[in-house]
Amino acid sequence: MMRGISNSIVALILVIASVIITLVTVGFTFAILGSNSSSIQVTQVGSPIISGNEVVFTLKSTSSVKIVKVYVNYPNDTAVKILVNNQSTDLLSPGLNKVVAEFNFQIPQNAEIYVVTSNSEVIPLG
């Protein structure tokens, strides 16, 4: 009789331990997934079009984020005017956004162009 009670207690302890381990594992998994899903991601869609002193490109954003600057080759060669979805704003909305960046100089066709967003993302256009 004592042996049956002893085996039952051991089985109960094992069940409780496995439930605790499962809850901890699920908690860590959701914490990791939650931190990734809350970060803002901005990606380029298609190729940029360079025309004279303007570059036109499309960005896809998972949330609202501000364009801090658009620059060509060097961080000092920044755009003087940015239009997002034909409006004089530098704020990307969730989804697709058409961006026009205007510079004070002719942009070479082989120029390296970068976009910096307020979440510290640097996106090379190419």
Phi-psi region of 14 (alpha: psi -120 to 50; beta: other; left: phi over 0): alpha
* pLDDT for 109: 85
- Render each residue's pLDDT in the chain as its tens digit; 126 residues: 667 677 888 888 888 988 888 888 877 766 655 544 457 889 999 999 999 999 999 999 999 999 999 999 866 788 999 999 999 989 999 999 999 999 999 998 888 999 999 988 899 997
| Residue 24, both tokens | 């901890």
Query: How far apart, in whole angstroms, are the C-alpha atoms of residue 108 and residue 110?
Result: 5
Helix then strand count (H, E) for the chain reads 1, 8
Please give the model's pTM, rounded to 2 decimal places.
0.68
- Confidence at residue 43, expressed as pLDDT on a 0 to 100 scale: 92
